[in-house]
């Protein structure tokens, strides 16, 4: 079902969207941008314009010129996989008013049915009132209608033993497009690689140059915060056959600098800005 890591990622690099959505001329300075071939990754969807980790944000990313969307996966009390960044539901839903007596409102303390009751859009804006927290399966089905690839982050696997296996089952069942799975937990990514060896895994963070060779045995990407990057570090990662997807910037000047380092992908909340560049 899945192509090799190199085929998947090189396909994304060589098939970047050529239709760039219109944005105001003042949104991006008129200067040289990054070189062609940088994968435009919408961070939690087009999260500057729609509530993060919702179907609305994911689909908007496609309209804003993204090549991939990144989203976060957590597990509920009854082992359902949902899109949610934080350990708790408080920041991006109305859980405090719906369930006032259940602080600190951890995702892992609620069932999927309880989470389906919550409004995950009003915090962002009244236009998104009634938006729901999607399951992983719902997100995969929605994204299958686009041509975008997915960068799926598994959050805090140590809090959810077995989440790697459950995510692998759902991805096999519901997704047949370009895919990378990433986490800050490198041991979990080693385990996921054993489950789905044809799917590239990304390691979030900035391993030392001395660690890179060992990590290249199973990792397809090293994905550091952009402030940690230097041109030499990017070259060291790429020399071992891995890619660098860096996060997260909305600044055109920073995007241009990262482009000069020849990074492979940039995560941004403003995919239309990177598309314009």
Catalytic residue IDs: 43, 85
Residue 265 token pair? 């992908």
The single-letter DSSP state of residue 135 is B
Instruction: Please give the distance of CA 127 from its chain centroid, rounded to a whole number.
Output: 24
Count how many Cα atoms sit within 13 Å of the Cα of residue 40 in the half-sphere of its side chain: 30
CA distances from 93 to 79, 89, 106, 124, 155 (A): 20, 6, 12, 9, 18
Q: How far apart are CA 44 and CA 126, in angstroms?
A: 20
Q: Which residue has the tokens 């000069």?
A: 260
Per DSSP, what are the bridge partners of residue 70?
A: 43, 151
Q: How far apart are CA 86 and CA 241, in angstroms?
A: 32
The stretches of the chain forming alpha helices (DSSP H) are 5-14, 55-63, 95-98, 112-116, 136-143, 163-174, 186-195, 212-215, 231-239, 252-260, 271-276
């Amino acid at each position: 079902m899945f192509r090799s890591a190199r085929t998947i990622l090189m396909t994304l690099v060589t098939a970047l969207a050529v239709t760039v959505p219109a944005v105001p001329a003042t949104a991006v300075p008129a200067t040289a941008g990054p070189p062609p071939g940088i994968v435009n990754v919408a961070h939690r969807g087009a999260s500057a314009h729609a509530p993060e980790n919702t179907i609305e944000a994911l689909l908007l990313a496609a309209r804003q010129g993204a090549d991939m969307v990144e989203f976060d996966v957590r597990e509920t009390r009854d082992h359902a996989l949902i899109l949610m960044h934080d350990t708790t539901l408080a920041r991006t839903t109305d859980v405090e008013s719906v369930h006032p007596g259940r602080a600190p409102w951890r995702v892992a303390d609620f069932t999927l049915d309880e989470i389906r009751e919550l409004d995950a859009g009003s915090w962002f804006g009244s236009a998104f009132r009634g938006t729901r927290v999607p399951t992983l399966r719902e997100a995969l089905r929605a994204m299958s209608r686009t041509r975008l690839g997915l960068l799926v982050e598994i959050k805090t696997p140590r809090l959810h033993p077995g989440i790697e296996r459950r995510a692998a089952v759902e991805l096999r069942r519901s997704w047949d497009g370009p895919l990378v799975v990433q986490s800050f937990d490198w041991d979990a990514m080693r385990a996921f690689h054993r489950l789905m060896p044809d799917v590239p895994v990304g390691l979030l963070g900035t391993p030392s140059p001395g660690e890179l060779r060992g990590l290249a045995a199973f990792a397809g990407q090293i994905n550091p915060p952009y402030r940690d990057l230097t041109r030499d570090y990017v070259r060291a990662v790429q020399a071992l056959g891995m890619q660098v997807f860096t996060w997260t910037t909305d600044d055109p000047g920073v995007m241009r600098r990262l482009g000069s380092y020849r990074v492979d992908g940039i995560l941004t909340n403003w995919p239309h800005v990177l598309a314009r560049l």
